[in-house]
Chains A and B, each alone.
Chain A
Amino acid sequence: MSVRSKVIEAIQQIAKEQHVTLPALSDDLSLHETGFDSLAFAILVARLEDETGVDPFTISEDAAFPATVGDFVRAYENVPA
């Protein structure tokens, strides 16, 4: 499974658990518009770390948290395997 589909699947799973109705997940959708709160993002990052072995937001101290879904996916894609 590609990194992108892993990330999208995790977002959809957490949305289901948190009873969040997601809009269509396009790359330029702002993360704010997903309806996720900070707890939902914390869960997402933790689950993806377990699945992919990386947490791109802790690795680098000055990593800015992404603004859009596309940025978020790329943060995982850009981590060297």
Chain B
Amino acid sequence: MSPREIFALRDHLGAELKGRTISDAHDVVSLTDILSYTVLGGRLHELSGRAVLLKLSDQLRSGLAMIELDGIARRMLLCPPDLNPSHLEALIADAGIDAVVTDEPERWAETGVPLVVTAQLPLQATAPARTERATEWLMLTSGTSGVPKIAGHTLEALTGAIVAEGPARGPAPVWATFYDIRRYGGLQIFLRAVLSGGSLVLSDPHEALADHVARLNARGVSHISGTPSHWRKLLMSGSAAQFTPRYVRLSGEIADQAVLDGLKTAFPNSFVGHAYASTEAGVGFAVNDGLEGFPADYLGNRNGVEMKVVDGSLRIRSTRTAHAYIGRNAAPLTDSDGFVDSGDIVELRGDRYYFVGRRGGIINIGGLKVHPEEIEAVINRHPDVRMSRAKSRKSPITGGIVVADVILADGTDQVRVKEIRDQILEQCRAQLASHKVPAVIRFVEALDVTPAGKLARTDA
């Protein structure tokens, strides 16, 4: 195969589109002439053909390093910011890492990784590099308590959904995401920004939400994505009023009707859609009719993505899935027919499938299996509720009961709290089996969200 047939990120970054930038809370970098600059101190050629660990403390340098490394390195492993350092050794062995790109070179001096390259700003001028090969992108799965699994992707698989959708209409989008771009959901937005001829505004974990929104406004963000938890936090913060994106996208968790309606109310002139994607299964589909769940006729083969439901869970086969788990004892990623089991449990009601929860997230209530997400979706329908979490609590009588922590809308009159509690319980009793109705509802000020933007369920 001649290198001409391989497209790397640099091949999507011509100098013909002016004014493109990638920025964070501290720096703005031009994407227009990015190919003539290096974040790697001009040492890209040393990384040619290497298996590179990308371990940086910020997203901006990570994104710039991805642009340089793609098409040059043999593979690159993206480390999200919350990666437990004690897992690094196993990951380095599993991925056959022989080089690291870091901003803390002193930490890597004695580790045995043969090549350490420092990523630094400001950028330095360099001669543009030429694509040499199709780099393998390695991403870490989230949500597991042990060593995360490494999922292997190609740029072609990662960008399959973006290419299929075609270019965005209207002016070049300015993308933003609440996600970190070293996670699948965030990487999709990074890649969209690069492929669409647009710009990207990165999040900053240390920035207050109001400041973040002010920055999104100042940079003219038109397209933005996050998890339902990210969006609920924004809706609760009161900062949404100043923000007018054209496109609002949700993914990574179940988008229930309450959060979709809440966003439609907060952003009446925006297009609100939710997408289904995971590190392993890739981008499955987008739902753009404003409703939770997805039409039943999405099953079967649709735009090259095949979906079926087996034992209640959604299975996906497409060219956008990861191609394998990487490592010494890696389990097969797909079944013998090439389907990835997403572990997401769906239920058919009428002509639509609804997500009810994760297979691994089931809580046991007196011997009966319960998905906490299903309970939360009902609680969230109450107009005064902003966010909720259901979990199990030990009971000396039934073994376990459901309890729910609920955040009420800001400024809810304390006098009404008892009435709201009764209404929530009434709503749950009308729509859920009796063992799923919360025994206790606690009103709380905040609920933990993981660094990956998902409601924390570790103590469930």
Contact = CB atoms under 8 A, between A and B. Distances in A.
A57 B439 contact: no
Interface string B380-413: 0000000000000111111001010000000000
Contact of A57 (B393, B396, B429, B440): B396
Contacts of B435: 39
B336 interface: no
B398 A39 contact: yes
B209 interface: no
A43 B394 CA distance: 11
A58 B401 contact: no
A60 to B, nearest CB: 10
A50 B405 CA distance: 13
A46 B401 contact: yes
A17 interface: yes
Interface string A24-37: 00000000000000
B81 interface: no
B366 interface: yes
Most central of B396, B398, B403 by chain A CB within 10 Å: B396
Contacts of A17: 422, 425, 429
Contact of A47 (B366, B396, B429, B439): B439
A26 B398 CA distance: 25
Is the contact region of chain B dominated by helix, strand, or loop, or is it mixed?
mixed
Given A17-B425, A17-B429, A43 B396 contact: no
A8 interface: no
Contacts of A55: 396
Contacts of A43: 401, 439-440
B398 A42 contact: yes
B440 A41 contact: no
Nearest to B425: A17
A47 B396 CA distance: 13
B434 interface: yes
A45 B425 contact: no
Contacts of B434: 39
Contacts of A46: 393, 395, 401, 403, 439-440
A61 B440 CA distance: 24
A72 B398 CA distance: 17
Interface in B351-403: 366, 393-398, 401, 403
Interface string B432-449: 001100011010000000
A5 interface: no
Contacts of B366: 38-39, 42
Contact of A38 (B398, B425, B429, B442): B398
Given A39-B435, A50-B442, 14 more contacts: A17-B422, A38-B366, A39-B434, A41-B397, A42-B395, A45-B396, A45-B397, A46-B395, A46-B401, A46-B439, A47-B440, A50-B440, A55-B396, A57-B396
Interface of B: 366, 393-398, 401, 403, 422, 425, 429, 434-435, 439-440, 442
Closest 6 pairs between A and B when the two form their complex, measured CB to CB:
A43-B439, A57-B396, A42-B395, A42-B397, A42-B398, A58-B396
Interface of A: 17, 38-39, 41-43, 45-47, 50, 55, 57-58, 65
27 contacts: A17-B422, A17-B425, A38-B366, A38-B397, A38-B398, A39-B434, A39-B435, A41-B397, A42-B366, A42-B395, A42-B398, A42-B401, A42-B439, A43-B401, A45-B395, A45-B396, A45-B397, A46-B393, A46-B401, A46-B403, A46-B439, A46-B440, A47-B439, A47-B440, A57-B396, A57-B397, A58-B396
